[in-house]
Amino acid sequence: MTESQTMESVESFAGRARAWLAGNMPRTEDRGGRHQAATRSDEQELAHIAHCRALQRMLFDGGFAGICVPTDYGGQGLTVAHQEAFNREVRGYEYPADTQVPTFTPCMSVILEFGTHEQKKRHVPPILKGEALWMQFLSEPSGGSDVAGAQTTAVRDGEEWVLNGSKIWTTGAWWADWGLCLVRTNWDVPKHRGLTVFMLEIHQPGIEIHRIEMINGSREFCQEFITDVHVPDSQRIGQIDEGWAVGTRWMYHERTISGGSPYVTSPAGRPAVALDPSGGAVALIPLARSRGWLGDTRVKELIGEAHALALIGNALVHHIGDEISTGATTSQAAAITRLWFGTSGVRNSTICYELLGANAVTWSDEDRDLGQRGIRFLMRQSSCIAGGTTEMARNAISERVLGMPRERTVDKDTPFRDVPRSAPTR
């Protein structure tokens, strides 16, 4: 949008979005979400991802993709208020949530913040059109939550870099297109000072993908083995050896997955627990009604607790988002929402299990959905691990939001090659 043009009002935009959604997007009662991936075959999962790509393309063609993304890169160049208006209108319609995260945030968010003009021109439009799905190549088998301890290495070779190492816990790497990859380019400086970020095509010679089967039967998590993969320097994000500056913002955008990102479409007013693997309070009410349980006091208490957690989560997202956007608090406050949704996610899974009791342990073919909630109870702790552990969030809150003394480290000024560490997994 040029300076001579007047930006469309939020009210006009909302009305246009309302009419377009009614005429174009499929309606939905309960779109499910990533937790259903465990019950889908590979063919069904690929069909689901293709459907999400098609939905994203519909948003792009309709003028509702990348609402806050600059027009130079295929977006609408509008404000957060416009995105929030669309989020209000999209409730009740299908939308491509399962491919917007982590493609839009943190990956596209990092590219928009640190990429060159040429990189953004090349990579952002395909993201907005649903043509390119991105994943995070961040965690490593030997690193745990110590992201800065990356041992995947990039060595300069003229105008290219040669990458070797392994990444793990990459959701959907087997069907995604690109990865945002944090690697080590300097072993002779402390670990935070020798990192660089690259954009990496996933399906190419030298990258071997192994899928990991979880306790619930899901195989969406992957481990990647990277062997002598050549990457042009033009795919480097940010400065050489200064990848931690990119990484800290990367972590911020990752924490906004729980809510508050201006780039992600997510129905406003939808209770946060409905996004939780438990199935959420929205799913519990009709379930309890169908079983004739709504008159039970304990059932009412559990559903009420789930609903209260949802209300608090939604209010927290809006409050923290407003505080960050106005500069009233540091962007590290996004760790507060990360901590909340991790711990409340565990409780929501437990609420479902407590409500169903024996029905969540043994079930008939007709009541298979009840059993899924029991399996999700076994997976409940994953909400405190995926997307950065809640322990990391607590550290960020205490040190970077509350200003408490930093945790003592013994390798702060030690070259990384001299730091004792476990061997990389190959």
Whether residues 275 and 384 share a domain: the answer is yes
| Together in a domain, 141 and 162 | yes
Q: Tens-of-pLDDT digits for all 426 residues of the chain?
A: 444 468 999 999 999 999 999 999 999 865 445 545 666 889 999 999 999 999 999 999 999 999 999 999 999 999 999 999 999 999 999 999 889 989 999 999 999 999 999 999 999 999 999 999 999 999 999 876 788 899 999 999 999 999 999 999 999 999 999 999 999 999 999 999 999 999 999 999 999 999 999 887 889 899 999 999 999 999 999 999 999 999 989 988 887 776 678 899 888 644 333 333 334 455 678 778 878 888 899 999 999 999 899 889 888 988 988 888 888 988 888 889 889 989 998 998 899 888 888 777 777 766 666 667 777 888 888 888 877 789 988 998 999 899 999 878 777 889 999 988 766 555
> Domain check: are 46 and 149 in the same one?
no
In a domain, residue 3? The reply is no
CATH number of the CATH domain containing 31: 1.10.540
d(Cα 226, Cα 153) in Å, to the nearest integer? 10
Query: Do both 125 and 143 map to the same domain?
Result: no
Which domain CATH number covers 356?
Answer: 1.20.140.10
Together in a domain, 173 and 197: yes
How far apart are the C-alpha atoms of 59 and 128, rounded to whole Å?
8
Buried b (16+ CB within 10 A) or exposed e, 300-335: eebbebbbebbeebbebbeebbeebeeeebebbbbb
Q: To which residue do tokens 């996610």 refer? A: 345
Based on the fold, state whether residues 326 and 346 are members of the same structural domain.
Answer: yes
- Total number of domains constituting the chain: 3
Residue from 340, 337, 335, 319 nearest 400 by CA: 335
Q: Cα separation of 319 and 341, whole Å?
A: 15
Quote the domain boundaries for residue 49. 17-100+117-132
Could you say which of 193, 224, 252 is where a domain stops? 252
First to last CA, the chain: 49
Identify the three-state secondary structure at position 311. Answer: helix
Q: How many angstroms separate the CA atoms of 168 and 166, rounded?
A: 7
- Do residues 210 and 186 share a domain? yes
Q: Are 310 and 281 in contact (CB under 8 A)?
A: yes
* Within-domain flag for 69: yes
